[in-house]
Structures are given as structure tokens and as C-alpha cells.
């Protein structure tokens, strides 16, 4: 009835729209982080680590033979292990950022801010903390990746694949990793906008509760 209509009206508010954008950005960050772990420039075959065979060139290590093939596999495994903690951390952060706005949308639909206006101030504080924390998190993410790409393992791996005519194994940030960084910046701006909207809605709810006869 009318209660269900009032709950659905929340999804049309500016705060809810901003939260849905945050859900989309977090999902994209999660996808880009997972792609970064096995992106193009990536892994031709890692059966020992449970990886997926990457037959881009018609077969795993098709251009290698003997000692070169074994060395390529070793370098792939070591490079994968270097990037794995960074990718897992990024995916964990992306998953948390995905859950957070979903919970807030549910809270809004249940009209918790109307019954407990102070929740909006708590929400504002959480948004500001997350937005500020995003900056060092992005720095750590990109700095850690650049450290991996500047490592001797990556350099040797790049030279080995180039010697066989393979392209796409450069020691530089890939598109998915750059996209994850840009999406993180957009998410931080969305969080700051949501913090401002939460303060505005707190004032609106407080004013309305001061005038119960006009509701």
C-alpha cells in the first residue's frame, strides 16, 4: 500500500541515485581488478597454480622449446605470484565498496533515516572516511603494481617473450589497471557527493520533524 510506495520513492531520490552509481563503480573496480590478475600481457599457462591456459598464440609456449620454455613458465609463475596479493587486495576492496552502498540503499528503503535522523550523520562520516581512504589506497595499488613491473622478473620475462616475437608482455600498467585507478577516483568523488547529500537530507528530515502538523 502507501508504505510500499513511500519505500519505492526513496529509489528516486538524489542520494539513492548516487548510491546506485557507487554500486556500478564498485562492480567495475572489482571486474578490472580481477582482469588485472590475468590480463593480456598475461599468463600463457599456470596449471600448477590452478590458472587458465591462455592459448592466444595457438598453444601454451608454442614458440619456446627446451630450456627457454621452462624458463618462460618459471617467469610466468613468479610474475603471477608477485601480482596476486595486489589483485586480491584490490578485489577485496572492490567487494567491500560494492556491499557498502547496497546496505545503504536497503537502509534508505526501510526508512531508517526518517525514524533515526542521526543515521544520516553517521552515513556522512562513513562516506568521508572512505573517500579520504581511497587516495592512499589508490597510491598503494598503483605503486605496488609499478614495483612489480620494475622488478627483474618482469624485465627478464619481457625480454624473453620479445626475443620470440611475442607482443603484449610489456612491463607497464595495462588498461584494466589504469581503469581501476580512474574508477577509484570517480568513486571517491561520488562518496563526497553522497556525504553532502546526507547532510542535506538530515536538515530536511530535522525540519520536517519539527513541523508534524504539516505532514
Yes or no: say if 185 and 128 are a contact pair by the CB < 8 Å rule. no
Exposed / middle / buried, residue 25 (Cβ in 10 Å: 0-12, 13-18, 19+): buried
How does pLDDT run along the chain (215 residues), one tens digit per residue?
454 556 678 888 889 999 999 999 999 999 988 887 664 344 444 343 333 334 343 344 556 667 777 788 888 888 888 988 998 999 999 999 999 999 999 998 888 888 888 999 999 999 999 999 999 999 999 999 999 999 999 999 888 888 877 777 888 888 889 999 999 999 999 999 999 999 999 998 888 877 755 54
Helix axes 152-163, 67-109, angle to 10 degrees: 120
Residue of 214, 159, 190 whose CA lies nearest to 16: 190
Yes or no: say if 83 and 37 are a contact pair by the CB < 8 Å rule. yes
Q: How many CB atoms lie within 10 A of CB 11?
A: 13
The pLDDT assigned to 95 comes to: 93
Amino acid at each position: 500500500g502507501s508504505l510500499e510506495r513511500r519505500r519505492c520513492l526513496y529509489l528516486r531520490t538524489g542520494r539513492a541515485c548516487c548510491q546506485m552509481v557507487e554500486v556500478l563503480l564498485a562492480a567495475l573496480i572489482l571486474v578490472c581488478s580481477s582482469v588485472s590478475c590475468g590480463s593480456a600481457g598475461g599468463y600463457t599457462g599456470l596449471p600448477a597454480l590452478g590458472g587458465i591456459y591462455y592459448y592466444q598464440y595457438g598453444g601454451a609456449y608454442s614458440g619456446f622449446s627446451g630450456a627457454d620454455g621452462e624458463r618462460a613458465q618459471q617467469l610466468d609463475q613468479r610474475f603471477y605470484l608477485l601480482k596476486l596479493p595486489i589483485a586480491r587486495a584490490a578485489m577485496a576492496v572492490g567487494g567491500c565498496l560494492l556491499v557498502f552502498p547496497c546496505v545503504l540503499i536497503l537502509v534508505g528503503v526501510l526508512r531508517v533515516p526518517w525514524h533515526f535522523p542521526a543515521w544520516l550523520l553517521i552515513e556522512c562520516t562513513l562516506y568521508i572516511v572512505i573517500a579520504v581512504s581511497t587516495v592512499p589506497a589508490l597510491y598503494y595499488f598503483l605503486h605496488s603494481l609499478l614495483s612489480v613491473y620494475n622488478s627483474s622478473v618482469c624485465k627478464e620475462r619481457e625480454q624473453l617473450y620479445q626475443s620470440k616475437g611475442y607482443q603484449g608482455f610489456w612491463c607497464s600498467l595495462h588498461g584494466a589497471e589504469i581503469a581501476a585507478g580512474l574508477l577509484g577516483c570517480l568513486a571517491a568523488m561520488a562518496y563526497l557527493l553522497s556525504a553532502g547529500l546526507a547532510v542535506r537530507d538530515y536538515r530536511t528530515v530535522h525540519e520536517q520533524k519539527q513541523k508534524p502538523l504539516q505532514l
